[in-house]
Amino acid sequence: MLITGVINFNGAGLNLLKPPCAPSAPVMGNVSYSINNTGNANTFANVILTPSFNGGLPITSYTVTSNTGIYAISATSNVTINGLTKGNTYTFTATATNAQGTSSASNISLAITPVTVPGAPVIGAAYLSAATANVTFTPPTDTGGNAIINYVATSNPCNFTGSSTTSPILVTGLNGCSSYTFTVAAINSLGTGLSSNASNTLVTPVISGGLWGWGYNCATGQAGSTCGNLSSPTQVGALTNWTVVTTTGNFSSAIKSDGTLWNWGYNGCGQWGNSTSSLTKAYSPVQMGALTNWKINSVSRSGHLAIKTDGTMWVWGNNCLGQLGLGDNSNRSSPIQLGACTTWKYASNLGLSGLAIKTDGTLWSWGYNSSGQLGLGNITNYSSPKQVGALTNWKSFSIANCAQSSVAIKTDGTLWSWGYNPYGGLGLGNITNYSSPKQVGALTTWAKAGHGQYQTLAIKTDGTLWAWGYNSYGQLGLGNRTYYSSPKQVGALTNWRSIYTGGGNVLAFKTDGTAWAWGNDASGQLGFGNTNNYSSPKQVGALTTWTGSGTAASGTTLGIHN
């Protein structure tokens, strides 16, 4: 009998060794895939094999083959197979090769289906219809292996969005006189894919009677937008016919010409007056109730005061120091009438104090009084209105938010001030506090005044503008940062119409309908598209239709134009 093989003498006997042969089939291990979000290129599987008997010779290669016929060869047992298509299902088998031949096929792997989010759509033209953008696009060539279920268009700035299953997509709620571009992204069952390139720029038209906001807006949306801080005027929604607007550090409110009252921003202390509302903040105006007879409106950081057309005064919100004037310290989350009087003409409750004028010209105050800001000759707090002196010729006033001081003008054109006075903001030539009204100079030509945090700006009947008090940001508009304890004229112009001053920023309107701002601009509240402070008046944009009212608080500015 003929025996073939190799005899090995190992000192203990003879061993018959099996000759070299083809390897045994490898064992299929883990299979994973990697994908490319921009197309099928570089979408591949990673196949890990467990080698079996090598046939007595080194393995020279492993071959992995898919059920679709795609294959790859590798010198190691970790094999990458390229050229997969997203959405297709794949299984794999493998063989091992040595110098004697190739093994039989391994067991079949588990199935994989490479899928991902879609690729980027191709942006088309965007065009306007009123305050709505129509954004066109072409679907992406790469669906990610899953059916696209929706498309979303997003604006820049502000991230206003719209969605549709087809082109075009409508994006609503754009602000008047603002510039936007748009991107489009596709969505499948795995999520949102890559965004397209930006569209052409759209500039929305100015909306007559619109309300505009800018400055600090991040915390609660008090500037009326979801955009974050706004360094340029941005229209607050598409509603029109606003007549009265007021804001404070975290909350804003306005009245429309139809007598309805609207609020936005923070609502943590019930200052919206919607006792059944679950909203704690809003980025656009929300109507308070259904009444249509609101006339005068004023807000503090946590309270609200308003006068109706019938002369009644209503208050609500935080009342920790009796600032609502209701004779107690209980908070209110819906409007409560203050007394039974129907002769209230004008009122304000900035800070923790209230001040009001009746139709008979008498002046009344209540609330916190640590610096004599109630003008009652003492520093006693009062939770109900008290008359300031016996005079009946008070015409208007301005009370500073949190600054504990006030200025007022009488019907004879004289200017009066009282309260806290650390920087000469009372205009009396000193820094002494006063708990009773003191006349500012002897002039009888004062027409309007705006009292901010330690500074005052006022307009005379000849249209000139004057300023005094705190000036660390240049908010007096005098081209410097020097404090003044008596009035100084701002420039030489004679066409100033109205003035609004906050913590360190000022908004003013001229008789030609232009808006001007200066002072602190840390949050963009001056509206110049930057955050640079200015110590002299600078025009806000080019509009000449600012004929409505305005308001300036610490960091936030609002204005109305027709």
Measure the CA–CA gap between 21 and 259, rounded to whole angstroms: 97
**Does residue 548 contact residue 560 with C-beta atoms inside 8 Å?**
yes
Question: Which of these ranges, 78-82, 215-219, 261-265, 330-334, has the smallest mean pLDDT?
Answer: 215-219
Asked, for residue 10, whether it belongs to a domain, the answer is no
d(CA 86, CA 43): 8
CA 501, distance to chain mean position in Å, is: 22
At residue 18, the pLDDT reads: 65
Amino acid identity for residue 480 in this structure: N
Whether 13 is covered by a domain: the verdict is no
Specify whether the CB–CB gap between 404 and 451 falls below 8 A. no
Same domain membership, residue 536 and residue 517: yes
Residue 138 in any domain: the answer is yes
Q: Are residues 145 and 35 in the same domain?
A: no
Confidence at residue 227, expressed as pLDDT on a 0 to 100 scale: 63
Query: Residue 308: how many CB atoms within 10 A of its CB?
Result: 20
Cβ neighbours around 428 below 10 Å, total: 20
With vertex at residue 399, the alpha carbon angle to CA 394 and CA 402, rounded to the nearest 5 degrees, is 160
Are 391 and 431 in the same domain?
yes
pLDDT for 403: 64
Q: What is the pLDDT of residue 10?
A: 47
Is residue 552's pLDDT more than 90? no
pLDDT at res. 440: 98
Distance CA 519, CA 198 (A): 35
Q: Indicate whether 119 pLDDT > 70.
A: yes
Average pLDDT over every residue of 515-526: 92
- Same-domain pairing of 223 and 180: no
Q: Is it the case that residue 8 has pLDDT exceeding 50? A: no
Q: Give the C-alpha distances (Å, rounded to integers) separating 549 from 32, 242, 402, 507, 509.
A: 65, 9, 22, 10, 9
pLDDT over 60 (residue 117): yes
Do both 234 and 172 map to the same domain?
no
Same domain, yes or no: 49 and 140: no
Predicted confidence band of residue 546 (pLDDT cuts 50, 70, 90):
confident
Is 233 inside a domain boundary? Answer: yes
Of 351, 329, 349, 324, nearest to 339 by C-alpha is 324
Mean pLDDT, range 417-435, rounded to an integer: 96
Confidence of residue 149 (pLDDT cuts 50, 70, 90): very high
* Of 318 and 492, the one with more pLDDT: 492
**Is residue 169's pLDDT more than 90?**
yes
What percentage of the chain has pLDDT greater than the value 70? Answer: 91
Q: Which of 197-206, 463-472, 499-508, 521-530 has the highest mean pLDDT?
A: 463-472
Write the DSSP assignment of 3-61 as a string of letters.
--SEEEE-SS-EEEEPPP-PPPPPEEEEEEEE--TTSSTT-EEEEEEE----TTS---E
**Residue 278: which pLDDT band, with cuts at 50, 70 and 90?**
low
Give the C-alpha distances (Å, rounded to integers) separating 439 from 189, 352, 407, 426. Answer: 72, 24, 10, 9
User: Is residue 17 domain-resident?
Assistant: no
**What confidence category does residue 158 fall into, taking pLDDT thresholds of 50, 70 and 90?**
confident
Domain assignment present for residue 75? The answer is yes
Q: Quick one: pLDDT band at residue 207, thresholds 50, 70, 90?
A: low
pLDDT confidence tier of residue 41, bands split at 50, 70 and 90: low
Of 170, 203, 236, which one is at a domain's C-terminal end? 203
For residue 345, the enclosing domain spans 210-561
* CATH assignment of the domain containing 46: 2.60.40.10
Please report whether residue 113 resides in a domain. Answer: no
- Boundary-marking domain end, from 102, 133, 158: 102
Asked whether residue 259 falls in the same domain as residue 177, the answer is no
> What is the reported pLDDT for 1?
37
Q: Domain count of the chain?
A: 3
Residue-wise burial string across 181-207, b where 16 or more C-beta atoms lie within 10 A, e elsewhere: bbbbbbbbeeeebbbbeebeebebeeb
CA distance readout (Å), 464 to 199, 439, 447, 461, 473 = 47, 19, 10, 8, 22
Question: Both 199 and 260 in a single domain?
Answer: no
Q: What is the pLDDT of residue 11?
A: 46
Tokens of 159: 């991230």
- pLDDT score for 172: 86
pLDDT higher than threshold 50 for residue 175: yes
Task: Examine residue 397 and state whether it is found in any structural domain, yes or no.
Answer: yes
Task: Give pLDDT tens digits for 245-266.
Answer: 888 867 888 999 999 999 888 7
The pLDDT of residue 3 is 39
233 with 185, same domain? no
Q: Distance (Å, rounded) from C-alpha 386 to C-alpha 391?
A: 13
Tell how far CA 258 is from the center of its chain: 28
Query: Which of 133, 59, 118, 65 shows the shortest CA–CA distance to 87?
Result: 118
239 and 353 fall within a common domain: yes
pLDDT at residue number 499: 93
Which of 146, 177, 203 marks a domain boundary? Answer: 203
Task: Output the pLDDT for position 561.
Answer: 76
**How far is it, in rounded angstroms, from Cα 478 to Cα 17?**
106
Residue 112 has a pLDDT of 94
Q: Which residue has the higher pLDDT, 472 or 235?
A: 472
Whether 297 and 249 share a structural domain: yes
d(C-alpha 190, C-alpha 200), whole Å: 29
Q: What is the pLDDT of residue 277?
A: 54
CATH of the domain at 509: 2.130.10.30
The answer to whether the CB of 66 falls within 8 A of the CB of 72 is: no
- If asked whether residues 226 and 167 sit together in one domain, one would say no
- Residue 503's pLDDT is 78
